[in-house]
Amino acid sequence: MKNFVVKTIANAGALAVAVWLLDKITLTGDSTAKEAGTLIVVALVFGLVNFLVKPIVKVLTFPLFILTLGLITLVVNALMLLLTSWVCGKLHLSFHVEGFWTAVLGGLIISVVSWALHMILPDED
C-alpha cells in the first residue's frame, strides 16, 4: 500500500511539473485545493493507464523497441499521456493534453521528474 501511495505522489508531482512547464497541458480548477484534488485523481488515472495498457502496447511494439533501440518509448509514453487526457475528459476532469508533440515532450518531462522523485521518496525496498 505504501508503494502505491509513493507512486501516486510521484506521478502527481511529475504531472504538476509538466503542467507548469508546458502551456498546452492544462489542469484547471476553481481553487488550489480543487486543482490539487484533480491532480491526484489524474495521477491515479495515469497510473492505471500505465499499469493496464502500457504493458500490452510494449509487447505489441516489441520489434520497434529493438529496431529503434528503445526510442519508441517516447512515443509509447506520449500515447499513454494522450490516453490519460482522453479518459480524464470522459470523467469530466479538467486535464487536457493538446497535440501529439506536446504529449511527447510532456511524457519526457514526466518520466524524468518521476524517476527523480522515486529516487527521493521512500520506498518499500
pLDDT tens digits, residue range 104-115? 999 999 999 988
8-20 burial, b if ≥16 CB within 10 A, otherwise e?
A: bebbbbbbbbbbe
Q: Which of 3, 27, 37 is nearest to 85 (CA)?
A: 27
Residue 93 to residues 1, 65, 83, 85, 121, Cα–Cα distance (Å): 25, 33, 13, 9, 27
pLDDT digits (tens, 9 = 90+) for 31-67: 888 889 999 999 999 999 999 999 999 899 999 999 9
Q: What is the pLDDT of residue 49?
A: 93
∠ Cα 83 96 58 (to 5°): 20
- Strand pairing category for 25-27 and 95-97: antiparallel
pLDDT at 125 over 60: no
pLDDT score for 124: 62
Residue range 77-93: average pLDDT? 94
Mean pLDDT, range 71-86, rounded to an integer: 94
Interatomic CA distance for residues 122 and 8, integer angstroms: 13
Is 99's pLDDT higher than 70? yes
Contact at 8 Å (CB) between 15 and 50? Answer: no
